[in-house]
């Protein structure tokens, strides 16, 4: 059986070897369907997923959990993991009312 020191070293090496992925999250005010209560929706464009929350912080935290779940699902299905590839461009469009 491994000593406590060996287990700590193994954990430390595993933690160092893990790659950290960073995803953009766009959080917008929203109205929750069904209840019509105000909320915030957190969109993760590169993954095509979204989560919501009562506050900006809740929406962000829920998005982070959903990202982890989504990536885990992709890994289990042996599918590629999308990664951010550059800058986003945000613009507006004017349309007749």
2 Cβ contact list (under 8 Å, min separation 6): 10
pLDDT of residue 77: 97
The range of the structural domain enclosing residue 56 comes to 20-76
Residue 47: burial class (beta carbons within 10 Å; 0-12, 13-18, 19+) = buried
CB distance 83 to 46 below 8 Å: yes
- Whether the model pTM is above 0.85: no
pLDDT of residue 21: 93
> H-type helices in 1-97, by residue range?
4-17, 56-76
Those residues of the chain that have pLDDT short of 50 are 13
pLDDT of residue 56: 98
pLDDT of residue 22: 94
Residue 32 domain flag: yes
pLDDT of residue 17: 66
pLDDT of residue 96: 96
Residue 69 domain flag: yes
Number of domains in the chain: 1
pLDDT of residue 87: 75
CATH code, domain carrying 38? 3.30.160
């Amino acid at each position: 059986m491994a000593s406590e020191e060996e287990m700590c070293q193994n954990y430390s090496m595993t933690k160092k070897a893990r790659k950290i992925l960073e995803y953009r999250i766009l959080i917008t005010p929203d109205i929750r369907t069904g209840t019509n209560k105000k909320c915030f929706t957190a969109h993760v464009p590169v993954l095509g997923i979204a989560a919501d929350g009562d506050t900006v912080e809740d929406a962000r935290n829920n998005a982070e959990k959903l990202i982890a779940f989504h990536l885990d699902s992709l890994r289990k299905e042996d599918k590629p993991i999308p990664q951010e590839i550059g800058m986003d461009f945000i613009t507006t469009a004017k349309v007749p009312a």
